[in-house]
Structure 1
Amino acid sequence: MRGTDNHHGRLIIALSGAVMLLCACARPYVQPEGATETTPALHDTYALMDDGYRLPLTRWIPEGRCRVQVLALHGLNDYRRAFASTGEFLSARGITVLAYDQRGFGESDGFGLWHGSDRLASDLQLMVRLLHREQPGCPVYVLGESMGGAVALAALDRIAADIEGVILVAPAVWSRDSMPLYQRAALWLAAHTVPAKQLTGEGLDITPSDNIEMLRALGRDPHVIKATRVDVLYGISNLMDQAADASPAQAADALLLYGMHDEIIPREPTCRLLGKPAVAHWDIVLYENGYHMLTRDLQAERVLRDIADWLLDATRHKREATDRLTQFCAASPDSD
């Protein structure tokens, strides 16, 4: 028995040593910032950041004076075209929309690489300032979908004084403390041994939207990332940690939208955010037939109408009844 125990002990030590050796040779990669100090500026098709980096952008501008402007941030592996229908819908109602490719996504440089949570938040802060400079007196709202919502939350303390409010569509707040231990451990190990390995998600039984034609179109779009590096997943986990820990009390106004069939961002971390005392003044809408990609689901028009009405102050205070929120958050995922 003692010989067997010694054998197991030596095996554990050997495996631990091998893991440590592998971890010493690899680490999650973060793309460095640009080396050119530049004055930030907005152009027709891109925004120039303070390090010389260019963020490709698209605008939807209604006729007449600027009433409200929305700065839109896309989700993981997506890009600014995610807001094509949103931009058309809102601009037809007098709302200006600007969407840009966040670093490492879409048509930006360093495609497929993680550029760091802090840099994404800094870009958002600069973009808000640039919008104010271009359209002084026109209120700015930030609309973040999934990862974009996490960036907005992580940057809240930097931008709260410069925006009228935020719209969070299925925000990515799945922090590590709501993940199973095995998942956290596997992610850490993979990020420190095979950070460049790409994962496709094939075989996962997940439905991000009920709009199948839209999903097929994304599959054909070369600017949508199909295989994600492990260190990017590690980076987005760091970002979600920051988003979940953010203090939402500093936001003057907020609208949070969540689909009850969301299979990407689980119910538990979302309800944890909704349970914060500082969120008591937020407007919250739950969509019984909604999935993760709410603004592109089959019921997208209803979602976009809610956003437009909220922005134009037609139906403020859309918070769900307390008993419905309580019932939603009390239900286990297995009960759906």
Structure 2
Amino acid sequence: MAIEKEGTLEVMGNSLYTKSWLPDGPIKAKLIFIHGFSDHLGRYNAFFPTLAARGIAVHGFDQRGWGLSVKKPADMGLTGPTTQVLADMAAFITPHLPSDPSDPPVFVLGHSMGGGQVLTLACHPEYQETVVRKVRGWMLEAPFISFSPEEQPSAVKVFAGRLAGRLLPHFQLKHEIMPEHLTRDVETRKSLLEDKLMHNTGTLEGLAGLLDRTAALASGQVRPLPGGALKSLWVGHGTEDKTTWYEASRKYFDEFTGEVQDKEFKAYEGWYHQLHDDGPDSKEFYKDVGDWILARCEEEGKAGPKL
């Protein structure tokens, strides 16, 4: 049974909601989780306790503009530019990083929009020594590298949004994602519609930053850097994902991750976007994530502390 703890992250004048799921016993590893667009930590209450039961402590926060970090309507979707998004993630990850060889290794997992953010952070020159090199492994669940054909906005809509965003960066805009595009599970679809914290609202500044990150990733402009700071990479994506595009993830992995020696891509045949909540099959995803993390913990243990 997981021990749940709530808290706050104070960063640049903002108080962001945090939550942890801790093992009732020794901690073998830490997993830092970054959620996606219009998402929040309360949507993962089957996944995280399962990992905690295997000795993996999970720590996450509702990102600026989302979930319980929203204090008033004007906060909805107010993520700030990409520099702010990366700074928030780094501020949350850093206190969990090991300071001693005996400390549990740290892994970072991002889902959907959060997957694109995590990958951008892992490839960013500014964070290579302070964050990336100290993280044992980076994991992406259905990362947002490109829209699926079902969700692809028109070029006119993108151009108009970017133009307006320069004049009204905090202007709020609804972007509805149909529940039937997220999961095959009927009950989960219903809960998505009823979830009042999922407001589907972005700002023009935040949406422009999201589009810029995906464009940089899809083109390979942002990729793992030489030098081996990004040690290990795991990517999981459903082949029938109707929100982010499986083919884009596969292409990125095949063409742009040559600097990563320890890497794995898992195709979930027939699965949709929310691998963590796609019906009974999701237990396979839970096992895959836990197995990948614990295998690297065992390798660390065999290697012994570095003197």
Q: TM-score, normalised by structure 1?
A: 0.71
Q: Does residue 284 of the first structure (1) align with residue 250 of the second (2)? A: no
Q: Larger deviation: 306-315 or 150-159?
A: 306-315
Per the TM alignment, residue 230 of structure 1 is displaced from its structure 2 partner at its CA by 4.2
Q: Which residue of 1 aligns with 2:239?
A: 260
Q: Which residue of 2 aligns with 1:126?
A: 91
Inter-partner Cα distance in structure 1 for 2:45 and 2:119: 23
Matches within 5 A, 1:5-16: none
Per the TM alignment, residue 162 of structure 1 is displaced from its structure 2 partner at its CA by 1.6
Inter-partner Cα distance in structure 1 for 2:155 and 2:175: 22
Inter-partner Cα distance in structure 1 for 2:185 and 2:206: 26
Q: Is the 8 A contact 1:145 1:171 kept in 2?
A: yes
Q: 5+ unaligned residues in a row in structure 1: which ranges?
A: 1-43, 317-336
Q: Does residue 105 of the first structure (1) align with residue 66 of the second (2)? A: yes
Q: Is the 8 A contact 2:235 2:266 kept in 1?
A: yes
SS at match of 1:45: strand
Q: Is the 8 A contact 2:276 2:282 kept in 1?
A: yes
Q: Which residue of 1 aligns with 2:198?
A: 224
Q: Which amino acid aligns with 1:294?
A: L
Inter-partner Cα distance in structure 2 for 1:267 and 1:79: 23
Q: Larger deviation: 252-261 or 237-246?
A: 237-246
Q: Is the 8 A contact 2:232 2:261 kept in 1?
A: no
- What's the CA shift string for 1:55-102, capped at 9, x where partnerless? 211111112222101011100010112322111110111111112101
Q: Which residue of 1 aligns with 2:103?
A: 137
SS at match of 1:173: coil
Change (3 A) 1:206 1:182: farther
SS at match of 1:81: helix
SS at match of 1:312: helix
Q: Percent identity?
A: 23
SS at match of 1:248: coil
Per the TM alignment, residue 194 of structure 1 is displaced from its structure 2 partner at its CA by 7.2
Matches within 5 A, 1:1-336: 45-109=6-70, 110-132=75-97, 137-156=103-122, 157=124, 158=127, 159-174=131-146, 181-182=155-156, 184-189=158-163, 191-192=165-166, 196=171, 198-201=173-176, 207-244=181-218, 245-249=221-225, 250-274=229-253, 275-276=255-256, 277-278=258-259, 281-298=262-279, 299-313=281-295
SS at match of 2:287: helix
- The structure that has the greater radius of gyration is 1
Per the TM alignment, residue 188 of structure 1 is displaced from its structure 2 partner at its CA by 2.5
Q: Which amino acid aligns with 1:247?
A: R
Per the TM alignment, residue 193 of structure 1 is displaced from its structure 2 partner at its CA by 6.9
SS at match of 2:210: helix
Inter-partner Cα distance in structure 2 for 1:205 and 1:190: 28
Q: Give the paired residue count.
A: 270
SS at match of 2:68: coil
Q: CA RMSD in A?
A: 2.9
Q: Which amino acid aligns with 1:72?
A: F
Change (3 A) 1:310 1:133: closer
Q: Is the 8 A contact 1:61 1:95 kept in 2?
A: yes
Inter-partner Cα distance in structure 1 for 2:34 and 2:231: 19
SS at match of 1:49: strand
- Structure with the higher fraction of residues in helix conformation: 1
Inter-partner Cα distance in structure 1 for 2:296 and 2:97: 24
Per the TM alignment, residue 167 of structure 1 is displaced from its structure 2 partner at its CA by 0.9
- What's the CA shift string for 1:158-212, capped at 9, x where partnerless? 121121011100111128xx9874454344345457763533437x796121012
